[in-house]
Amino acid sequence: MNESTPHISRGLDYYKATMGQLEYTKHLDAEVTFELKNRSSDRLAEFVDPSELQDKLDTLRDGWQPDEIAYLAGLHNQDGSAQFTEDYLDFLADNPLPPVTVSLNEGNNDIAVSATGAWPLVTFWETVVMSELNELYFANKLKAEGRSLEELYAEGDRRLTEKINILRDRPDIKFSDFGTRRRFSYEWHRHVIERLANELPDNFIGTSNIYLANKLGLPPIGTFAHELPMVYAALADQAGKKPLGSHNQVIQDWEALYRGDLSTALTDTFTSEFFFSDFTPTQARRWKALRHDSGDPVEFGERVIQFYERLGINPREKTIVFSDGLDIATIVKLADHFKERIGTMFGWGTTLTNDLGVKANNFVMKATIVNGFPTVKLSDVLGKHTGPPEKILLYETELNQILADIALRELAVA
């Protein structure tokens, strides 16, 4: 890849491509809107002008470049078959990304970003917008405050060295870089990954960043995110069906497409309690891992072990991928707690690729509307549900009924 040529994969996580293939295969005509939401009280517009970000994103509108397509074409499943079909890759090669709009929200005087288009194309704006916005924000912030980039990098290296020294003595701890979206910059991200690959070969298993995986010869890591079950549920809602009834269809469609590869299931889109009620015993046996992304990680891990043991499955043959708010202390704590009880892997994000002594941003860009119907997420953390109140109530009502029916069945059996 030519470093001077704009490449969207510099800001893309691998799960966007793997999800995109399912979106292309099953829901090519779905029109989805992605919108930026700043979770912090710190204004992004303080250091980023909307026109500056717009100009940067416009350089990426052409979408996938031939060398990026060639990289995806060279990836294979465990059985030797191509991970991405020729039809999907041709689709990526032939289509630009939908327009993305950057403006200043008059309500909160902050950056607003939105993009609407065909689901398997508009999906790519999520991590691209987040990584580009972060990079502009920190570059402008340092300039405005007269801070030295060299001193900041020195502090970042000092902190990274501390992490490496701890992990060098813990070859049992396996982790991947999940830090594209909230990284300090592409250059710093690459520096961190190069050090990890060189200095922690027994621990570091790969990166979620497509461009860096290609450039550095690392395994690309990623499966699917909340976006997939959220959009499936909105499509079910549009069709007059029960939204949560679509959740297991995501699992089935994913399994059919990837045939046992990429078998890590995300558990908390509509609460983990619902997931465990919806994930069938057959699926539990076939899928290799479950991903934790909200709520208490120890409680979750214990729940996973109980789930597998109740089904007669040896937990030590399965893996939990922890990916929520990790730092080095939490990683060591979780590895120690679950050692020799269940496999663990860590998807390490912000505190890996944006730990230089400056406050990290906290914003997201999520699918919010599908064919005119809003999406909903029912978080494991109280008060963090997303979506319009009336739709949250619809989903909660369905969830409560499902859990009540299960409780009644279990009571009858007892």
In the block, residue with structure tokens 């970042």: 156
pLDDT at 383 over 80: no
Q: Is residue 68 one of the residues assigned to a domain?
A: yes
- The one-character DSSP state at 324 is S
pLDDT at 1 over 90: no
Q: Is residue 174 one of the residues assigned to a domain?
A: yes
Q: What is the mean pLDDT of residues 40-61?
A: 96
What is the pTM assigned to this prediction? 0.96
Helix (H) or strand (E) segment spanning residue 319: strand 319-322
37 φψ region: left (φ > 0), alpha (ψ -120 to 50), beta (else):
beta
Per cent of the chain over pLDDT 90 is 93
Beta strands in 123-271 (DSSP E): 175-177, 204-207, 264-266
Q: What is the mean pLDDT of residues 281-303?
A: 97
Q: Dmax of the chain from CA atoms? A: 69
What is the reported pLDDT for 93? 98
Give tens-digit pLDDT for 149-181. 999 999 999 999 999 999 999 999 999 999 999
What is the reported pLDDT for 407? 87
Per cent of the chain over pLDDT 70 is 98
Q: Is residue 2 one of the residues assigned to a domain?
A: no
Q: Is residue 62 one of the residues assigned to a domain?
A: yes
pLDDT at 215 over 90: yes
**Residue 198 to residues 149, 163, 206: CA-CA distances in angstroms?**
24, 14, 12
Lay out the sheet containing 110-118: strands in order across.
100-105, 110-118, 31-38, 363-370, 373-374
Mean per-residue pLDDT over the chain, rounded = 96
Q: Give the number of domains in the chain.
A: 1
What is the reported pLDDT for 3? 59
What is the reported pLDDT for 414? 64
Measure CA 247 to chain center. 18
Closest among 119, 115, 11 to 54, alpha carbons compared: 115
At 290, give phi and psi (nearest 5°).
-125, 140
In three-state secondary structure terms, 158 is helix
Q: What is the mean pLDDT of residues 120-129?
A: 98
Structure tokens at 68: 């990026």
CA distance 39 to 125: 18
Strand partners, 76: 82
pLDDT at 240 over 80: yes
Closest among 53, 16, 112 to 363, alpha carbons compared: 112
Q: How many residues does the chain have?
A: 414
Q: Is residue 379 one of the residues assigned to a domain?
A: yes
Q: Which of 2-16, 122-136, 186-200, 216-230 has the lowest mean pLDDT?
A: 2-16
In the block, residue with structure tokens 């109980």: 306
Structure tokens at 114: 């939105």
Strands 175-177, 110-118: pairing kind? unpaired
pLDDT at 15 over 80: yes
Domain containing 122 equals: 8-413
User: Higher confidence at residue 3 or residue 360?
Assistant: 360
Helices 227-238 and 14-26 pack at an angle, to 10 degrees, of 20
pLDDT at 382 over 80: no
User: Higher confidence at residue 106 or residue 26?
Assistant: 26
pLDDT-based confidence at 411, cuts 50/70/90? confident
What is the reported pLDDT for 409? 84
pLDDT at 366 over 70: yes
User: Residues 39, 350: contact at Cβ < 8 Å?
Assistant: no
Q: Tell me the CATH number at 184.
A: 3.20.140.10
Closest among 130, 145, 119 to 38, alpha carbons compared: 130
pLDDT-based confidence at 408, cuts 50/70/90? confident
- The one-character DSSP state at 134 is H
Q: Is residue 204 one of the residues assigned to a domain?
A: yes
What is the reported pLDDT for 82? 96
Q: Is residue 3 one of the residues assigned to a domain?
A: no
In three-state secondary structure terms, 54 is helix
Q: Is residue 1 one of the residues assigned to a domain?
A: no
Structure tokens at 283: 């699926």
pLDDT at 11 over 60: yes
Buried b (16+ CB within 10 A) or exposed e, 236-269: bbeeeebbbebbbebbebbbebbeebbbbbbbbb
At 382, give phi and psi (nearest 5°).
-60, 140
